[in-house]
Amino acid sequence: MSQTALTIASIAVLLGALVVALRALWGMRRK
């Protein structure tokens, strides 16, 4: 696996975690 692919994969994982965290915070604010 190339370094670029690893970098893209790690960034995708970080973005996914960020979206999940934002959705959780948004859900808490809605309640």
Q: What pLDDT digit, counting tens, does each position of 8-18 carry?
A: 999 999 999 99
pTM given for the model: 0.65
Closest CA to 25 of 17, 4, 7, 6: 17
Rg over alpha carbons for the chain, rounded to the nearest Å, is: 14
Mean pLDDT for the stretch of residues 2-6: 96
Query: C-alpha angle 26/29/31, rounded to 5°?
Result: 115
Structure-token match 């995708």, residue found: 12
**DSSP symbol at 31:** -
In this predicted structure, the answer to whether residue 31 has a pLDDT above a threshold of 90 is no
Domain boundaries, the chain: 1-31
Q: Supply the mean pLDDT for the chain.
A: 94
Instruction: Extract the tokens encoding 21.
Output: 């965290």
H helix runs in 1-31, sequence order: 3-30
